[in-house]
Amino acid sequence: MGFNSGVYNVFLFLHVLAVIVGFGGVLLNGLYASRARRYEPAQTLAVLEVNGFVSSRVAEWFILAAGILGFGLVSLSDGVFSWGQTWVWLSILLYVVSLGVSHGLLLPRVRTMIATQAGLVAGTASADAPARMEALGKQVGMFSGALHLSFVVILVLMIFKPGSGL
């Protein structure tokens, strides 16, 4: 085994595939949400629910797999890449912080938005529900923007590999 071996290349293929499916599955969420606001409340709810399902039940697993496979790639590289290289440890740090932001700040707000929209559809939401949806939408946009920036920085680190000597 080792760098550029068959096993390494399978891990690399799976890593890139997981990144495409996982991050591709969430990078356009803001567009879905923006477009959904133009529809009737029940249609908006349907878009939010489907988008939430794809993001948290499908894409999330591929994002986690991308990280695990990335650890495998460093381990399988026979020292070509090491944990001490800037691009490796900084990517790991940003990835872990991003997972924390996603799970601790973004996803709870998305779930609250879906529940609030369901209340609007059912007619059980409080009078301040539209204002809460607006405030939550701004927060979701802010956290999503930070996560998108983190993804771009990680992508740059993965491509240019500062500190690797390559």
In tens, the pLDDT along 17-59 reads 999 999 999 999 999 999 999 999 999 999 999 999 999 999 9
Residues 52, 37: Cα–Cα separation, whole Å:
15
pLDDT by residue (tens digit) across 13-28? 999 999 999 999 999 9
Residues 95, 71: Cα–Cα separation, whole Å:
12
Looking at residue 66, what DSSP letter applies? H
pTM, rounded to two decimals: 0.93
Long-range contacts of 100-103, Cβ-Cβ distance < 8 Å, separation of 24 or more: 101/143, 101/146, 101/147, 101/150, 102/143, 102/147
Which candidate, 89, 70, 73, 65, places its Cα nearest to that of 2? 73
The dihedrals phi and psi of 81, each to the nearest 5 degrees, come to -115, 140
In terms of phi and psi (left: phi > 0; alpha: psi -120 to 50; beta: otherwise), the region of 82 is beta
pLDDT by residue (tens digit) across 142-154? 999 999 999 999 9
- pLDDT exceeds cutoff 90 at 138: yes
Residues 96, 102: Cα–Cα separation, whole Å:
10
pLDDT band (50, 70, 90) for residue 100: very high
- pLDDT exceeds cutoff 90 at 4: no
Hey, where are the domains in the chain?
6-160
Residues 52, 26: Cα–Cα separation, whole Å:
9
pLDDT by residue (tens digit) across 110-127? 999 999 999 999 999 999
pLDDT band (50, 70, 90) for residue 163: confident
